[in-house]
Amino acid sequence: MHKNFKGIEKTVFGRGSFNQLGDIIAPHRRENNRYMVFIVDNYFKGKDLESRLPLLPEDTVYFIDVDPHEPTTEQIDTLRDEILATKGLPSGIIGIGGGAIMDIAKCVSLMVTNEGSSTLYQGLDLIKVPGIYHVGVPTISGTGAEVSMTAVLTGPEKKLGLKCEWTVFNQVILDPDLIATVPRDWWFYVGMDTYIHCIESENGQFNNAYSHAYAEQSMKLCREIYLGENSGQTAENDDKLMVASLMGGLSLTYSEVGICHAISYGLSKILGMRHCYSNCIAFNHLADYYPEGVAEFKEMVAKHNITLPQGLSKDWTDAQINAMAHVSYKLDHMWNHAVGYDWKEKVTIEDIEAIFRRL
Ligand code: NAD
Ligand code: ZN
């Protein structure tokens, strides 16, 4: 069986395209209780973008601070209950921010029509009925959350996405102007998430002509942005990074991520380390699995004077390392892709613990 994936329905790309948001959502304003919910990264509170939101008096805006923690099931349930209790079913949800805000927007759009807690729906195809119209506007690029079929939530038991066809955005607006203010270190870590998506997608058994074409183009863009003559955080490179993120996401969708993501999930789940940062921490030490990719990654790190901490594992307990290795070990699909269907004969919990001890 080949994967039958759903893509974004509509995409606008271009500098200033954020100004089209009002016109784009206008036809949907007749749906349900005739109001829109805007979910915006708190970074933009009081900034120019706030005054550019195409609000009508009936609309609701939530500014959310994503820094205390990644999106949680409890946070989504509370937000959903508040939205429904105040004005009933909205016409649509517009998420303006990074991976965290886009995931919140995706989840809320599903949870306003599906009863009970979002913990019930963490997994593949567990959502029962379609959600409502939802729009994603990335303001930091690299995770590919704008194009993916999943919306990742941390719950009491697991960190797992609500993954189904209806999770995918109906509309995405890619305006490179919006990512200009991303702090330099995050610009690097998040861009490396894209680069690592491509390296992992390419290096495994599920790679194919379709995923390869996207990875090849996305990596070309990453090289221009992070290694080229005109590398750095420039307007032209921001255009490229938005497209690279999208294509990296499409590549892994039709293939799979690999060992770096398996290790990174352990770091995030047990230590609360952020996704893109933990990928960089892990990838730095995976030269035996991805020799060319890691060598090039190290060139990028050096070129941009990024300091990645070393020797972190000396502060971790054996129990923590064991717990992280178990999180990784459970990500069967990633190891399958990277090592082969017989990966359990080749990779043990102790081997994975040894990878964590390198970090
Ligand atoms: P993020 O949303 O966590 O934001 C990172 C930081 O950048 C925050 O401090 C935010 O306020 C700030 N920021 C955002 N835009 C900015 C701008 N234009 N200027 C200045 N600061 C800005 O970042 P992320 O790395 O894009 O997302 C990580 C989240 O994405 C995690 O919750 C992870 O679980 C999720 N994720 C989802 C998918 C998916 O497919 N759904 C894939 C990977 C990661
Ligand atoms: Zn990733």
Distance (angstroms) between ligand 2 centre and the Cα of 277 equals 10
- Cα 275 to Cα 30, 156, 186, 211, 282: the distances in Å are 38, 19, 11, 22, 11
CATH topology of domain 184-358: Dehydroquinate synthase-like, alpha domain (1.20.1090)
Quick check: CB of 97 below 6 Å from ligand 1?
A: yes
Query: What residues form DSSP beta bridges with 250?
Result: none
Q: Which residues contact 203 (CB under 8 A, 6 or more apart)?
A: 258, 289, 290, 293, 338
Q: Tokens 């271009």 — which residue?
A: 14
Confidence of residue 170 (pLDDT cuts 50, 70, 90): very high
Q: Tokens 């991520």 — which residue?
A: 257
Look over the chain and give the mean of its residue pLDDT values, rounded to a whole number. 96
Give the pairing type, strands 159-163 and 150-154. Answer: antiparallel
The Cβ of residue 80 has, within 10 Å, a number of other Cβ atoms equal to 20
Structure tokens at 287: 């030269």
Quick check: CB of 131 below 6 Å from ligand 1?
A: no
Structure tokens at 292: 């060319």
Question: Ligand 1: which residue has its CA nearest to atom 38?
Answer: 145
Q: What is the CATH number of domain 10-179?
A: 3.40.50.1970
Q: How confident is the model over 226-247, as pLDDT tens digits?
A: 999 999 999 999 999 999 999 9
Q: Which of 3-7, 24-28, 114-118 has the lowest mean pLDDT?
A: 3-7
Query: In this predicted complex, what is the ipTM?
Result: 0.99
Distance (angstroms) between ligand 2 centre and the Cα of 39 equals 22
Distance (angstroms) between ligand 2 centre and the Cα of 267 equals 13
Q: How confident is the model over 63-107, as pLDDT tens digits?
A: 999 998 889 999 999 999 999 999 999 999 999 999 999 999 999
Confidence of residue 201 (pLDDT cuts 50, 70, 90): very high
Structure tokens at 269: 């789940």
Confidence of residue 164 (pLDDT cuts 50, 70, 90): very high
Quick check: CB of 152 below 6 Å from ligand 1?
A: yes
* Alpha carbon distance 116, 127 (integer Å): 11
- Cα 87 to Cα 59, 157, 298, 303: the distances in Å are 9, 31, 51, 51
Task: Find the mean pLDDT for residues 139-161.
Answer: 92
Share above pLDDT 70 across residues of the chain, in percent, rounded to a whole number? 100
Distance (angstroms) between ligand 2 centre and the Cα of 219 equals 14
Instruction: Give the residue extent of every domain in the chain.
Output: 10-179, 184-358
* Alpha carbon distance 325, 106 (integer Å): 30
Identify the pLDDT of residue 160. Answer: 86
Residue of 194, 275, 278 to mutate, ligand 1, most atoms within 8 A of C-beta: 275
Model confidence, pTM: 0.95
Query: What residues form DSSP beta bridges with 62?
Result: 39
Q: How confident is the model over 302-328, as pLDDT tens digits?
A: 999 999 999 999 999 999 999 999 999
Identify the pLDDT of residue 2. Answer: 86
Question: Ligand 1: which residue has its CA nearest to atom 17?
Answer: 182
